[in-house]
Amino acid sequence: MDKNSKIYVAGHHGMVGSAIIRRLHDQGYQNLVLRTSKELDLRRQAEVERFFEEEQPEYVFLAAAKVGGIMANQSYPADFMYDNMIMEMNVIHSAYGIGVKKLMFLGSSCIYPRLAPQPMPESCLLTSSLEQTNEAYALAKISGLKYCEYLNRQCGTDYISVMPTNLYGPNDNYHPEHSHVLPALIRRFHEAREAGKEEVVIWGSGKPLREFLYVDDLADACVYLMNTYSGNETVNLGTGKEVSIAQLAELVKEAVGYKGKITYDPSKPDGTPRKLLDVSKLNALGWTYQTELEEGIRLAYEDFKNSEVRAER
Ligand SMILES: NC(=O)c1ccc[n+]([C@@H]2O[C@H](COP(=O)([O-])OP(=O)(O)OC[C@H]3O[C@@H](n4cnc5c(N)ncnc54)[C@H](OP(=O)(O)O)[C@@H]3O)[C@@H](O)[C@H]2O)c1
């Protein structure tokens, strides 16, 4: 990408899209095309085609998606499949239609089989069954990355896909019921501290191992790979490091300054014992993460406090 290249970031209000915007601005890219979902509903094929015809972007980051936790995925699988599949197809097909030079499709590590080897290499895609709880979302994401691959093979495009691990950081979702584990812990420890509660109870045994990548590092990797990587196989984006939920809870407790105790409720489900991406391909491509979890949690907590101030205004 040249500094003057016209770049469309789909989903720029989201956690990932907004981080990509910050990274592009930091690196001097100024010619960005942006639309909220209200301005351009990516499920509307004719409107998406018209947008591409009119704006003629040269590069596209596809970070728009219908995203949700386990409950939402289980309750609305038809919506998750339809919205994501149609958004991806509309954007990728319209990009191809006007000759976009390069497109990056963002997926998620849930595309890999339920019983994938750990750490999960890119090559384990479609080797066995998916996790049932988010199968519809995963199938839509697999279709998006496969459509990029098929266009590359059939039409000679240069469309790439990346699969991030669990992300956290500015613009995360801190909703009390619908948030992911890290932002949920930030909120719970913060509220426990404010209310002077003596203990925070955490679901499960605390033993499952998870990987977390700070979203500004993710954005840095996306811009880096957009400029340096071409290929049909997806690229895992993670740190390659894992922590237990109990270790994570201690880190969040520390960052928030909560002085009470943590207890675990093993009657609640743990989920899969281990979920870690194999990031050897990413590292071999010349990229590694910068932000350690302690620092990232500190920055995320600052963002959480600011989001509370924003919400009160
Ligand atoms: N969060 C994670 O931990 C994580 C981990 C791995 C991968 N990812 C991937 O990263 C991508 C972005 O995730 P995120 O966490 O940034 O999600 P997010 O914060 O929920 O943002 C999603 C964005 O998609 C846009 N969008 C949704 N429906 C749309 C529609 N019909 N038309 C146009 N735009 C629409 C929304 O636009 P408006 O705000 O304008 O409504 C929103 O900005 C997803 O593909 C996700 O799978 C996320």
Compute, in angstroms, the gap from residue 12 CA to the centroid of ligand 1. 8
Please, which pLDDT band fits residue 86 given cuts at 50, 70 and 90? very high
> Tell me, what's the pLDDT at 309?
63
Nearest CA to ligand 1 atom 18: 14
> Tell me, what's the pLDDT at 175?
85
Q: Where are the alpha helices (DSSP H) in 175-292?
A: 181-195, 215-228, 245-256, 280-284
pLDDT for 193-203, tens place per residue? 999 999 999 98
| Residue 114 CB-density burial (10 A; 0-12 exposed, 13-18 middle, 19+ buried) | middle
Strand partners, 159: 103
Which residue is associated with the tokens 């059939």? 154
DSSP 177-209: TT--HHHHHHHHHHHHHHHT-SEEEEEB-S--E
Q: What is the mean pLDDT of residues 67-92?
A: 94
Nearest CA to ligand 1 atom 21: 14
Does residue 42's CB lie within 6 angstroms of at least one atom of ligand 1? Answer: yes
pLDDT for 234-272, tens place per residue? 999 999 999 999 999 999 999 999 999 999 999 988 888
Provide the whole-model pTM.
Answer: 0.96
| Helix/strand number for the chain, H first, E second | 10, 13
Which residue is associated with the tokens 């014992």? 273
Does residue 166's CB lie within 6 angstroms of at least one atom of ligand 1? Answer: yes
CB 111 within 8 A of CB 135: no
Compute, in angstroms, the gap from residue 168 CA to the centroid of ligand 1. 13
Per the annotation, the verdict on 137 as an active-site residue is yes
Residue 227: DSSP 8-state: H
Angstrom distances, CA of residue 125 to CA of 10, 234, 236, 312: 25, 9, 11, 44
pLDDT for 107-139, tens place per residue? 999 999 999 999 999 999 999 999 998 999 999
Question: Which residues carry a binding-site annotation?
Answer: 11-17, 106-109, 141, 164-167, 180, 188, 203, 210, 270
From 67, 145, 173, 279, the mutation candidate for ligand 1 (largest count of ligand atoms within 8 A of CB) is 67
Give the active site residue among 59, 137, 147, 159: 137
